[in-house]
Structures are given as C-alpha cells and as structure tokens.
C-alpha cells in the first residue's frame, strides 16, 4: 500500500485537502466486509449513514432507524477500517429531546462504536446550538443541508432543494452557520451545482456533495447505489459503477441448480476421511 493509502485520515487532513484543492472521497458503509473494501480502496471518509435503514434494513425511509441499529453497524464498520475517518450518522430522534441526550447519544458513537465524528442533519437555530454543545464536548460534527431526508414528512418528497430564492438563501446561510458553530465539514445534498459552488467558495471547511455537482470539495455516494445493490427509485445524481443487482442473481441461480443437480459440492469442495481411520470400526463402536 502506498503511504497515501496508509496514512490515517484526520479532520485536519480533510481541511488540508480543501486548501490544496485535492478532492475528498467519501462513501457510506454499513458492515465489516464492505468497510474493509472501501477503506482499502483509499476512500477518505466513511459515513455510516442512516440510509442504512433504506438500503440494508428495508425500511421505507430513514425515520425508523434507531441508535442501537446505528451503533451496531458503526461498530462493524470501524472493525474493518484502518485509514478512513469514520463518521456516525445521528438518527432521527437521537438529538431532538435535550442537549444532554444529544451529547450522550453522540458520545456513544465515539466511545462504544469507535467513530471519530458524527453527522447531524439541518441548520435550525436549535440544531446549531446543539452542534456548538457537541463540539464543546470534543465531538466533531459534520453538518448536512439541502435535502435532509429526516425532514421527509415536512418536505413531502425528496427533490432538489434551493431552486427558490428563499430556500437558496437558507441553504447558503445554513452552511455558513454550521461552520460558525464548529462543524468540520458540510454535506450538501441535492442542490443545484451553482449553489454548491457558491457555498464551497464561501466556506473554509470542506463541502461534501451528493447530487450537488462537481465543484464541491468532496463527493459522497451511498455504497449500495454506487455498486448497483439498491432497489427502487434512483436519483439522477447516482452513477452505478457496477451492477451487482444484475451480477448476483445468475450466481445464486447457478448455485441452486448445482445443489439440485448434485454437482455442488464436488470433490474439490469436500473432505475425505483420514486414511488411518477405520470406518468399519467407527460403525461397530456406535452399535455397542
């Protein structure tokens, strides 16, 4: 592995990348083997996103995802990661009741699951205050504006955000306020690239885009979308780099036919009795 690939990614390193104009690569992961592959491929930041609920757990949206589910999967991911910065996503209702509960939940990502930071959706006044409180408690926070899936019931449906002046202003100001509150990076989800460009130029912290065009400081995608292992609606911003949904069924079907035909397992996948064991003897002892 090259030095570039083995050097642990830290928050200062992400800031250096922005200053150097070097793109930050980010991807979600939710389990140990995937985290290992993603980390070894040289990804800088792994987000254990609450998209877990939709792409792995089969929920309709991210609202039902619990802290326990997030911690369970974050633990699996950190076990597989040596280099990337792992960020745990604060699920819906883990930061809504009180600052105390928010800090306690966020700290669990660091203390129990081994993440190095958390992500929180939104930039309302209350949310910004919470982020200040978390940063004060030494918990690094990544912000998230634009389309925020946990606001689904408010928004009605997932669509591009920031096409109206008031909304565009709220996104730009929200990102700036997140930076002022101490966030180390901001995810910009599903916003016009012109808006993402302005935000990226204004901020000193990195912007990580998903459906926000090529001028963000970094890019993130949901792993299952990238590898073609997710179902249902696929947003315009997703590019499938491989089609696992198409590659896997023929392999499973081949397994089913071979088992049915008796051709799997073949001799090469089978064990033989050691020569010094007398099967006759084994059988005769069994009878006694």
Interface positions with ligand KIV (CB under 6 A): 28, 47, 49-51, 89, 187, 189, 210, 220, 222
Least distance between ligand KIV and beta carbon 149 (Å): 7
Q: Between residues 139 and 225, which has the closer beta carbon with respect to ligand KIV? A: 225
* C-beta separation of 51 from 222 below 8 A: yes
Distance CA 189, CA 228 (A): 20
Token digits for 275?
Answer: 């020569």
Least distance between ligand KIV and beta carbon 254 (Å): 32
* Cα dihedral 274, 280, 283, 288 sign: negative
* C-beta separation of 211 from 219 below 8 A: no
Distance CA 114, CA 73 (A): 11
- The DSSP symbol for 150 reads G
Token digits for 12?
Answer: 């200062």
Q: Between residues 122 and 192, which has the closer beta carbon with respect to ligand KIV? A: 122
Q: Between residues 49 and 182, which has the closer beta carbon with respect to ligand KIV? A: 49
Token digits for 282?
Answer: 């084994």
Instruction: Give the residue nearest to ligand KIV (CB).
Output: 49
The residues annotated as belonging to the active site are 189
Least distance between ligand KIV and beta carbon 156 (Å): 19
Q: Between residues 5 and 96, which has the closer beta carbon with respect to ligand KIV? A: 96
Q: H/E element holding 80?
A: helix 67-80
- Taking Cα atoms as reference points, which of 236, 278, 201, 231 lies closest to residue 55? 231
Least distance between ligand KIV and beta carbon 88 (Å): 10
Residue with tokens 């140990």: 32
Residue with tokens 């940063």: 135
Least distance between ligand KIV and beta carbon 24 (Å): 13
The runs of H, that is alpha helices, within 112-164 are 125-136, 152-155
């Amino acid at each position: 592995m090259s030095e570039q690939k083995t050097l642990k990614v830290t928050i200062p390193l992400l800031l250096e990348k922005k200053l150097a104009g070097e793109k930050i690569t980010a991807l979600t992961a939710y389990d140990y083997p995937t985290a290992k592959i993603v980390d070894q491929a040289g990804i800088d930041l792994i987000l254990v996103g609450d998209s877990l609920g939709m792409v792995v757990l089969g929920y309709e949206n991210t609202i039902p995802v619990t802290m326990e589910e997030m911690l369970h999967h974050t633990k699996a991911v950190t076990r597989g990661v040596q280099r990337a910065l792992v960020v745990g996503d604060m699920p819906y209702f883990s930061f809504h009741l009180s600052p105390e509960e928010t800090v306690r939940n966020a700290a669990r990502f660091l203390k129990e699951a081994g993440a190095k930071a958390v992500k929180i959706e939104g930039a309302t006044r209350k949310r910004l205050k919470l982020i200040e409180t978390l940063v004060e408690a030494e918990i690094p926070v990544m912000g998230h504006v634009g389309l925020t899936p946990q606001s689904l019931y408010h928004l009605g449906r997932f669509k591009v955000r920031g096409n109206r002046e008031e909304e565009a202003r709220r996104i730009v100001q929200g990102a700036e306020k997140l930076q002022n509150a101490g966030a180390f990076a901001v995810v910009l989800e599903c916003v016009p690239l012109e808006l993402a460009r302005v935000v990226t130029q204004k901020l000193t912290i990195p912007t990580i885009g998903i459906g926000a065009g090529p001028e963000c400081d970094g890019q993130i995608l949901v792993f299952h979308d990238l590898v073609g292992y997710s179902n249902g609606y696929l947003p315009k911003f997703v590019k499938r780099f491989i089609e696992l949904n198409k590659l896997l069924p023929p392999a499973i079907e081949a397994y089913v036919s071979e088992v049915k035909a008796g051709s799997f397992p073949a001799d090469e996948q089978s064990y033989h009795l050691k020569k010094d064991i007398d099967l006759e003897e084994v059988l005769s002892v069994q009878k006694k």
